Structure 1
């Protein structure tokens, strides 16, 4: 492996390769320059290789990158304070969102609590674009035991083994979801 430093053009090509999910070109970059340069690669808006891969749903490229990048890149924020998980949520990529949150060396469910410059968490972005599948999954795995953070609140429901979750976004909109082991997924909804 070479110890050479990539040029600005080579960094731009890497970012584009991540945007388009060109795994061969990403691997070629790593072969030429090593994985450390992946951690510092940014476009003009502060987007990382993970922002590009996650925004476009390239799960295979994400699988390749996660073990070789710094875990801090998983929660890196761009100029708009959005993380790669915000972009996965904005573009409705469930497998990518799951890989980011479930990656053992990463921050886990804490990623769901990070807010961007608009005051939205990845859950808020999912709700904003009407991505119900993602919003349900985020609620299922997020840290709900931290009431008082201002975003999530648990309330008992008359149904056995059920909870009602209310989530307030930055604009004051409240989304409610009832979670129960007895209700099929298609009957759960956000109002």
Structure 2
């Protein structure tokens, strides 16, 4: 998979079409750019990053709960290249924006459970921390998204039990999972970052305008 550099207008178009959930136009534009640059669609998605915010197409899908569109976009990265191997989706799925937030952070904070599940199933790393030192499950907890918190706690708990797994939780992450688990439903969950007054990271639904 080779690297391409999109123009500012091309990046703006792709991000706008995603935020506006104009799925047909988005897929058509992706196909046109893929043909223009002679690359796979995933390569275009990798190159589509807002230079000011670091946000990707997946960030906006996640922020706005666009599960159907996200599933389609994730499907592009399952196609094989000339070597017969499917490209690694980890870089795209776990990309951190300027505030260190991954698509999973945004989906969790905004309570989009279906998107959270899609991301985790696709290989999203739930142990990535943002610039404030917060896991996605912590962002869901502070936003009072109980269903997302419960899902991530259960998923994280299973991961903690899998010793030796690449990307497994650290001792600090395990403690955070346990702390969140004790506070689910009563608003008492506190992580080390919260107790130390971690920096608040704003994550809101990303509308089509602006």
Contact 2:140 2:148 in 1 (8 A): yes
Q: What number of residue pairs does the alignment pair up?
A: 157
**What secondary structure sits across from 2:46 in the alignment?**
helix
**What secondary structure sits across from 1:73 in the alignment?**
helix
TM-score by length of 1: 0.74
Match of 1:89 in 2: 108
Question: Highest Rg: 1 or 2?
Answer: 1
Q: Which has the higher contact order (CA 8 A, sep 6+)?
A: 2
CA RMSD of aligned residues (A): 2.4
Contact 1:59 1:96 in 2 (8 A): yes
Match of 1:33 in 2: 33
Give the whole-Å Cα distance in 2 for the aligned partners of 1:114 and 1:147: 10
The answer on 1:74 being equivalent to 2:128 is no
TM-score by length of 2: 0.68
Moved segments of 4+, more than 6 Å = none
Contact 1:57 1:93 in 2 (8 A): yes
- Any residues of structure 2 matched to 1:128-139 within 5 Å, and which? 128-139=142-153
Instruction: Indicate which of 142, 156, 160 corresponds to 1:144.
Output: 160
User: Which structure 2 segments of 5+ residues have no match?
Assistant: 35-40, 78-87, 162-167, 183-188, 197-210
Which structure dedicates a bigger proportion of its chain to helix? 2
Contact 1:152 1:165 in 2 (8 A): no
